[in-house]
Amino acid sequence: FMEKYPDNFLNVGIMEQSMMSIAAGISSQGNKVFAYSISNFSTFRALEQLRLDIAYHKLNVCVVGVGTGFQYGSAGYSHWAIEDLAIVSGLEKFRIFSPSDANSTQEAIIDFLKNGGPTYIRLGKHVRNLSDIHKAQEIGSHIKKFGLGKKIIISHGSIAVKVLESKLFNPDEFSLL
């Protein structure tokens, strides 16, 4: 993106608070903006900016956080994003997407581009598509069912890939939502 659209890309470095304020300013001029960082930095560190600069004004800013949960495990507690959902869900105007794979990530991005508004997309590091593991059945907006079983496992985010890949997941016995 940086190479293809150099005039539409800013790297603000490790200044997540400023990044959110800059994104809000750009959005206030009629643009849809993506602001990307490691999940805990884009949510914990920039919470006041998310709340006052983006949510309060209902701006078209999509905050993209990568490495949710313990995915930056070796970096330690400072890099774990285990409270990001709780923090952002407390901001009443934010919509939250927790895609499980590349396909659902694409759906979330298209949804933001179509509908706008304060949005948080939390991403893991997995790139494998769930449909490569099991065939999906659409059961609602952004909700898919994997497997035909009567026992239901409800999951979101990148952990869903691990569930489907597990030797314990039997699609005749379980359904994954």
Which tokens go with 5? 């659209």
Residues contacting residue 173 through CB under 8 Å, at least 6 positions apart? 147, 149, 150, 151
Q: Are 20 and 35 in contact (CB under 8 A)?
A: yes
Is pTM, for the whole model, over 0.75? yes
C-alpha 174/C-alpha 151 separation (Å) is 5
Of 51, 175, 146, 63, nearest in space to 108 by CA: 63
108-158 pLDDT, tens digit per residue, is 999 999 999 999 999 887 666 666 666 666 666 667 667 777 777 776 776
62-86 pLDDT, tens digit per residue, is 999 988 877 767 877 777 777 888 8
C-alpha 60/C-alpha 146 separation (Å) is 32
Q: CA angle, 126 as apex, 143 and 3 as ends, to 5°?
A: 105
